[in-house]
Structure 1
Amino acid sequence: MRTRTKIAIVGTGQVGTATAFELIITGLVDDLVLVDRTRQVAASQALDLNQAASAQTFGSTVTSGDYAACGDADIVVITASARLDASAGRDTFLTSSCAIVDTIVPPIVAAGFDGIFVVITNPVDVITDRVMRLSGFPRERVIGTGTALDSLRIRLELARIFGVDEQSIQAYAMGEHGDSQMVPWSAVSFWGKPLDHAIEDNPQRARGIDPDTVLDDAKQSAFQIVKGKGTTSFGIAATTCTIIAAIVRNEHSIIPVSVRLEGEYGHRGICAGVPVILGVNGIQEVVNIHLSEAERRAFDASLGHIRQMQEKSPALPE
């Protein structure tokens, strides 16, 4: 019986290596394998990270390998992606991302992998759906990072405005991980009370808060990072490790991720960011947020954009 946690990361760019580093310094992984189409890059990153792991007390080991090395992994993280252009949206490299996962998923499944896919590759909602179809896995075991990082950005914006710790705020971005995402403001709470009550009771702290501006600022933060350094890496890596921690430690945490909806929120056959309960077997339950009529329209519109991208996706390989 396997007692060590094995995780494979496919793609050793900045996101993949940042995720790998976060995994080893938090002790979430025992055996970590890096896979990349450029094997020398994966081998060099593994050597560097293995030395970093030796400075920790967790005893993690890092190696490199091919898709066959993913066969006995508990979790496979897919980060491989085309480079994000700060002047364009995440859906502009849909075709290239589809081509990438088309070459990744079948050989991993053929190697005997029967664990959980965690998908970072953008556009993550469409790609999560594609990984699910390519693998034949149930929705519980194909998890996109979805709006998890977007939700963190929303909480950080609200924390900055109100001058409180972001852990004291509950807020979820939902829908597309992209420009059409929405926030159910009626479900946002501070100190256990609704956002509108927090604004009313703390006018000096609220500083004339405008929810639309908060959302716009949060959405644009990723492109500000890309404009300055070429890609986001640390934020998505930490967010991914939060998802992995919920699985490995069976935390039953509520995290907004991209999951195939099967009637929830009135949608079926589409992956989108919604809060779910995560545990050792993956997605245990989709959490139903009660949306207002306006919020429902915004959510439906966001999923409409995801469907448009799905329709533009290349056919699955035969």
Structure 2
Amino acid sequence: MDIAVIGATGTTGQQIVVQLILKGLLGSFDRLQLVGRPSAEARLRGMVVDLRDAFFEAAPDLDVTLAPEDVTADIVVFAAGGTLSTNPAEPMTRDALAQANLPLFEAYAGALARHGHGHELVIVVSNPVELGVAVFARHLGRHRVFGMGAYQDTLRLRREIAGDLGITRQRVQTYMLGEHGAGLVPTWSVLRLHGFDAAETGQLKARLREGLSAATFPEVLARELAAVRGMITAGDLRAAFAYVRTLPPELRVALRPYAAHYSGAKTAVATANATVDMLRVVLSGHQTVMAAQVALAGDWPGLHGVLGVPVLVGHQGWLHVDPLELAADEEAHLLAVGHEVSGKLRQWEGAR
């Protein structure tokens, strides 16, 4: 198995590389390609020395690559490009981030289409993840490309619910769909809590949501985001973290990472963990349903473009969308987010 990590010298890229080895996804007979720009060559070669020093018995064959046309792997993890600033006084908008990262998405997707073996799977980590998926899917075919945002957001929602109930995350079954950003769509109507019957689950759900609904969620999220942003801009991160802890689970999914990012710590470890966990599922050989950003083409009635939805995944890519029977207000919320994201993608890709 050959895996390439594009953006291996970045904060998240380095974490992905380390976790791939630590978690045993790659062994001594596999190859891990560290990909970066020519200006990062010295750092990449230093990483190779450090990794071999740390993981001599377990390290795969390590390779350094500096050009998009030289990327050769069975699975490509794209973690390169610009990121949001950690200075709240100088925020980078998603529009600016899209403009910065679109040329990189295009360069690597085009190179893989021209020089690859035609079966690579691509996991997009970089943001806007929906734009990355759209570009790679256009070049390589949509079933070979995943965005990990919905997978990470789903893990976060399950963790928040589990923490409030004092149970393990594995006992919580639900999804966070939509956009990896402001367009999160929690799916409480399909919540299942292993060990609880339907009546108990309904009571717990009502308690956890504190009156929130799919119809009110976007407005409340925008209001709470503004409140947290104000605390961070004022330099009171402690107050921001404390305030986020008082909010319902689906709001914490969006606001905890936001506060962590502007603390300077970022979310590289959690992002790498979710990415490597997603890779583990893909490499397992078993077909599994997971949430991921994918390019849709009539797979879910009313949805088009790229959006986070549940998909059946196998070692050759995602096979089909697994639509959920959502409550009417959740379905409406998802369709609205899908329409908004499609508009953004047309704007971003039209600017190239």
TM-score (norm 1): 0.88
C-alpha separation between the residues in 2 aligned to 1:20 and 1:181?
28
Query: Are positions 1:96 and 2:100 aligned together?
Result: yes
State the SS of the aligned residue for 1:255: strand
Do 1:260 and 1:268's aligned partners in 2 also have CA atoms closer than 8 Å? no
Q: Secondary structure at the match of 1:80?
A: coil
Contact residue 84 and residue 230 of structure 1 kept, 8 A: no
CA shift digits 1:128-171 (9 cap, x unpaired): 011111x2x22110111131111111111111111111111011
Q: 1:224 to 1:79 in 2, by over 3 A?
A: same
How far 1:249 sits from its partner (Å)?
1.7
CA pair 216-111 structure 1, distance change in 2 beyond 3 A: same
Q: Which residue of 1 aligns with 2:336?
A: 301
Q: Distance in 2 between matches of 1:208 and 1:215?
A: 8
Deviation at 1:47, TM superposition (A): 2.4
Matches within 5 A, 1:59-98: 59-66=59-66, 67-71=68-72, 73-86=73-86, 87=88, 88=91, 90-98=94-102
Give 1:189 shift. Answer: 1.1
Comparing 123-132 with 39-48, greater Cα deviation is found at: 39-48
The superposition leaves residues 253-279 of structure 1 with CA deviations (integer Å, 9 ceiling, x where unpaired) of 221001111212224541111111211
**Which residue in the other structure is 2:228 paired with?**
none
- Provide closer, same or farther for how the CA distance between residues 314 and 202 of structure 1 changes in structure 2, counting only shifts above 3 A: closer
1:169 paired to 2:175 = no
2:47 aligned residue: 45
Structure 2 counterpart of 1:243, one-letter code: M
2:302 and 2:95 map into 1 onto residues whose CA distance is 21
Q: Could you tell me which residue of structure 2 aligns to residue 130 of structure 1?
A: 135
1:287 to 319, 322, 335: 322
Q: 1:212-267 deviations in whole A, cap 9, x for unaligned?
A: 53211111121112112253211111111122112222121221001111212224
Q: Is the 8 A contact 1:261 1:267 kept in 2?
A: no
The correspondence of residues 1-318 of structure 1 with structure 2, limited to 5 A, is: 5-12=1-8, 13-29=10-26, 30-37=30-37, 38-56=40-58, 59-66=59-66, 67-71=68-72, 73-86=73-86, 87=88, 88=91, 90-114=94-118, 115-133=120-138, 135=139, 137-191=140-194, 193=196, 197-200=200-203, 206=207, 209=210, 213-229=248-264, 231-267=266-302, 269-315=304-350
| CA distance in structure 2 between the aligned counterparts of 1:208 and 1:143, rounded to whole angstroms | 30
| Identity, % of aligned positions | 23
Uncovered stretches (5+) of structure 1, i.e. residues with no partner: none
Deviation at 1:309? 1.3
Q: Contact conserved, 2:95 with 2:348, CA < 8 A, in 1?
A: no
What's the CA shift string for 1:270-313, capped at 9, x where partnerless?
A: 11111112111010221111112101111012112211211221
Letter in structure 2 aligned against 1:158: I
Q: Secondary structure at the match of 2:296?
A: strand
CA contact (8 A) 2:293 2:308 kept: yes
192-201 or 230-239, larger mean C-alpha shift: 192-201
Determine the structure 1 residue equivalent to 2:236: none
RMSD over aligned Cα, in angstroms? Answer: 2.3
By how many angstroms is 1:68 displaced? Answer: 4.0
Q: Report which stretch shifted further, 75-84 or 88-97.
A: 88-97
Change (3 A) 1:129 1:238: same
* Secondary structure of residue in 2 paired with 1:251: coil
CA distance in 2, matches of 1:255, 1:112: 26
| Kept after mapping to 2: 8 A contact 1:7/1:74 | yes
Check the 8 A contact 1:82/1:93 in 2, yes or no.
yes
Name the CA distance, whole Å, in 2 between partners of 1:144 and 1:181. 14
How many Å separate the matches in 1 of 2:208 and 2:324? 27
Distance 1:112 1:227, change over 3 A: same
3-state SS in 2 of match to 1:147:
helix
Where does structure 2 lack aligned partners over 5 or more consecutive residues?
218-247
Shift of 1:53: 2.8
- Per-residue CA deviations over 1:59-102 (Å, capped at 9, x if unaligned) read 5222211334423x101111112121354554541111112212
Aligned partners of 2:15 and 2:211: how far apart in 1? 34
For residue 202 of structure 1, report the CA deviation from its aligned partner.
Answer: 9.5
User: Number of aligned pairs?
Assistant: 306
What do the CA deviations read for 1:191-214 (whole angstroms, capped 9, x no partner)?
1657763252799xx567555532
SS of the residue corresponding to residue 313 of structure 1 reads: helix
